[in-house]
Structure 1
Amino acid sequence: MPEGHTLHRIAQLHHRRFAGGVVRVSSPQGRFAEGAALVDGQVLERAEAYGKHLLHHYASGLTVHVHLGLYGTFSEVELPMGAPVGQVRMRMLGAATDFGTDLRGPTACEVLIPPEVDALTARLGADPLRADADHERAGARIRRSRRAIGALLMDQALIAGVGNVYRAEVLFRHGISPFRPGTSIAPAEWDALWADLVDLMPIGVTAGRMHVVRPEHDTGAPSYTEDRPRTYVYRRQGEPCRICATPVAHQVMEGRNLFWCPTCQPR
C-alpha cells in the first residue's frame, strides 16, 4: 500500500497541473459515473493529501476522495490521451494543462460533501507531512496505550500516512523495539521519532522514493529489490544488520509484516 509521501506527491502534482481551471471528469469503467457527472466541467480549487487519502476540492463545495488501497494507481499522460486501457475508474483532463490522469484500482473513489470531508479528516491522526499536525496529542494518546509502538505507528487514527517501511525504519533509526508498549515511550523519545518522520517523509515526496539509510551506512548489501534505495531492516529478514551484523528478524504484527534487529532494538 502506498505510504503518505506518495499521496502528497500526487496531490502536489495534481494541484500544479489542474488547480484553478476547469477539469473534465469521466469514468470509462462506469463505477464512478454518477460521481464524475457531479464534478465534470467544474473548477478544481485545490488538491491535497491527508495521510493516505487524496482530496480534490471543487469550487462547488464537492470533494472527490481517493484512497488507493493496495492496488490503486494514477497514470499521468500527456494530451491527447488515447482510449482508456484497462479498468479506468476516473479520468481527469485539464483545460489549462497538457496532461490528463487515469485512476485504476482504488479502494475508494467517491464524491463527498463538506460534513463528510470533516468526518473523514477528524478520524485521522497527525500527518507528519502537514503543517497542522498535532504531534503532541498523538504522543499523549500513544503514552496512554499498552499496544506495541510498532502497531501504534501504523494506526491511521493516531499517525496518518506512516506505513510498513517508515514504521520499521524509524524505529530502527532510534533503537526502539517495535514490541515496547506505548506507555513506555518517553515524551523525548516520541519527539525524536516524530522529528525524524518530519525530516524523512518530505524526501519521499520530492524524490518519489523513501530514503531512510544514513549516508555512512548506505553501503554494502544491496537493497531488497533493484529499483529501491537500501533499507536498514525492511524486507531484509535473515540478512545481517547493517550496524551490528545480527540477522534481521521478522514476524507478523496485527496482520502486517514487521522487521527489526534484535540487538540494535532490544526489548
Structure 2
Amino acid sequence: MPEGHSVHRIARQFGRHMVGDAVAVSSPQGRFAEGAALIDGRTMTASRAVGKQMFLEFDEALWLRVHLGIYGAWDFSGDLRQDATQRAARGRMGQTGMRGTGDEGDAPATVVGEHEDSLSSIGAPRRTRLRMAEAETAAAVEGWPPEPIGQVRVRLLTDRVVADLRGPTACEVLDAAAVQTVIDALGPDPLVDDAQEGEERMLARIRRRRVPIGLLLMDQSVVSGIGNVYRAEMLFRARLDPHTPGANLPEDVIRDLWRDWRYLLGIGVDTGQMMTMDGLDEESRKRALRNRADRHWVYKREGLPCRICGTHIVLEVAAGRKLYYCPSCQS
C-alpha cells in the first residue's frame, strides 16, 4: 500500500501539471460515471494530501477524494515538464526501480534529486507515461491522448496531461464539509499540520491507549501516513519493542517518534524512496537507492542477521499485517 510520501508526491504532481486548468473527467471503466459527470469540465483549483488520502479541489467547492489502498495507482501521461533544477540533477537517484547513479554514462534516470519540482523522466522522450503508487516507473507513450489501459476508474484530461486512476479503495466526489469531516478523523500529518500541534496530538492519542505501539503507528486516526515499511523502520530506529502499549511509553519517546516521522517523510517526498538508514557513505547510498534490500534496517529482512547485533530479524503477523523487528535491539 502506498505510504504517505507517495501520496504527497502524487498531490504535487497534480499541483504542477493540472491545477489551474479545466479538466475533462470521465470513467472509461464506467463505475465512476456519475461522479465524473459532477466535476467534468470544471477547473482544478487545488491538490492536497493528508496521510494516505488525496483531495483534488474543483471550482464550486467540489472535491475528488481518492484513497489508493493496496491496489490503486495513478498513471500520468503527456508533457510532464522538466525544469533547470532537474536537468542539473541528471543522474542522481530518487525512484524505486530506476537505474543511473551519476557514473553510468547516459543511463536514463527517472525521478531525481532532492526537492525536484516535477516527476518527469529525465532522458526519456518528452511525452511520458509515469505510474505512481508505492513505486514509480516511467516509460514513453505514443499518440495523444493515449488509450486507457486496463480498468481505469477515472480519467482526468487536459490539453497536455492525462491522469488515469486504477484500483482505488475510495474514489468519490465530496463537498467541502464532507472533506473536512474526513480530515478531522485523521491523525496529524507532518507535512500538513503545525509541527508542535501535530506532536501534541500524536502524543495525546498514543498515551491514552493500551494498544501496542506497533499497531498504533499504523492507525491513521493516531498519526497519518505511516504504513508497514515506515512502521517497522521507525520502531527499529527508536529501538522500541513493537508490543509495548502506547500508554507505557515515556513522553520523550513518543515525541521522538513524531520528529523521526517528520524527518523520514521529508526524505521520502524529496527522493521518492523510503530511505531509513542514515550515515551511509556515497557508494552505500547509491546501492541503497538502487536496491530496497540495502536501504532498510529490518523491513523484509526476516531470518537475516540484524545489521547492528547479528540476531535474526523476526517476522510476525499483527492485525493482519507483517511486522518485522529485531528481538535483541528492540527488547
TM-score bracket for this pair, using the shorter chain length = over 0.9
- Counterparts of 2:193 and 2:222, CA distance in 1: 16
Verify: 1:151 aligned to 2:215, yes or no: yes
Contact kept, 8 Å, 1:209 with 1:228, in 2: the verdict is no
Contact kept, 8 Å, 1:204 with 1:210, in 2: the verdict is yes
Aligned residue number for residue 106 of structure 1: 168
Aligned residue number for residue 6 of structure 2: 6
Counterpart secondary structure, 1:126: coil
Q: What is the number of residues matched between the two proteins?
A: 262
Contact kept, 8 Å, 2:313 with 2:325, in 1: the verdict is yes
- Counterparts of 2:57 and 2:199, CA distance in 1: 26
Counterpart secondary structure, 1:55: strand
Show the 5 A alignment for 1:199-210. Answer: 199-210=263-274
Picking from 106, 110, 116, the partner of 2:178 is 116
1:87, CA displacement in angstroms? 0.5
- Counterparts of 2:188 and 2:74, CA distance in 1: 25
Contact kept, 8 Å, 2:303 with 2:314, in 1: the verdict is yes
Aligned residue number for residue 129 of structure 2: none
1:229, CA displacement in angstroms? 5.1
1:215, CA displacement in angstroms? 2.5
Aligned residue number for residue 134 of structure 1: 198
Instruction: For 2:11, give the aligned amino acid.
Output: A
Contact kept, 8 Å, 2:44 with 2:58, in 1: the verdict is yes
1:227, CA displacement in angstroms? 5.4
Aligned residue number for residue 254 of structure 1: 319
- Counterparts of 1:175 and 1:2, CA distance in 2: 25
Aligned residue number for residue 236 of structure 1: 301
1:131, CA displacement in angstroms? 3.3
Instruction: For 1:215, give the aligned amino acid.
Output: G
User: Do the aligned partners of residues 228 and 242 (structure 1) sit closer, same or farther apart at CA in structure 2, a change above 3 Å counting?
Assistant: closer
Counterpart secondary structure, 1:100: strand
Instruction: For 1:7, give the aligned amino acid.
Output: V
- Counterparts of 2:169 and 2:151, CA distance in 1: 13
Verify: 1:168 aligned to 2:232, yes or no: yes
Instruction: For 1:231, give the aligned amino acid.
Output: H
Contact kept, 8 Å, 1:17 with 1:94, in 2: the verdict is no
Verify: 1:245 aligned to 2:307, yes or no: no
Unaligned runs of 5+ in 1: none
Moved more, 227-236 or 38-47: 227-236
Instruction: For 1:137, give the aligned amino acid.
Output: R
User: Do the aligned partners of residues 74 and 187 (structure 1) sit closer, same or farther apart at CA in structure 2, a change above 3 Å counting?
Assistant: same
Aligned residue number for residue 196 of structure 1: 260
Query: What RMSD in Å do the two structures reach over aligned CA positions?
Result: 1.9
Please give the per-residue CA displacement for 1:90-139, whole angstroms capped at 9, x wherever unaligned. 111124xx221111111111101122111111111111222346221221
Instruction: For 1:179, give the aligned amino acid.
Output: H
Contact kept, 8 Å, 1:150 with 1:178, in 2: the verdict is yes
Runs of 4+ in 1 over 3 A off after TM superposition: 216-220, 225-229
Verify: 1:125 aligned to 2:187, yes or no: yes
- Counterparts of 1:56 and 1:104, CA distance in 2: 16
Instruction: For 2:50, give the aligned amino acid.
Output: Y
Show the 5 A alignment for 1:40-51. Answer: 40-51=40-51
Counterpart secondary structure, 2:317: strand
Please give the per-residue CA displacement for 1:133-191, whole angstroms capped at 9, x wherever unaligned. 62212211211111100000000111111001111001101111111110111111111
Counterpart secondary structure, 2:303: coil
TM-score by length of 1: 0.93
Instruction: For 1:250, give the aligned amino acid.
Output: L
- Counterparts of 1:190 and 1:75, CA distance in 2: 37
Verify: 1:53 aligned to 2:115, yes or no: no
Larger RCO, structure (CA 8 Å, separation 6 or more): 2
Please give the per-residue CA displacement for 1:36-85, whole angstroms capped at 9, x wherever unaligned. 11111111110000110010011111100001011000011116222211
TM-score by length of 2: 0.76
Indicate the percent of aligned positions where both proteins have the same amino acid.
46
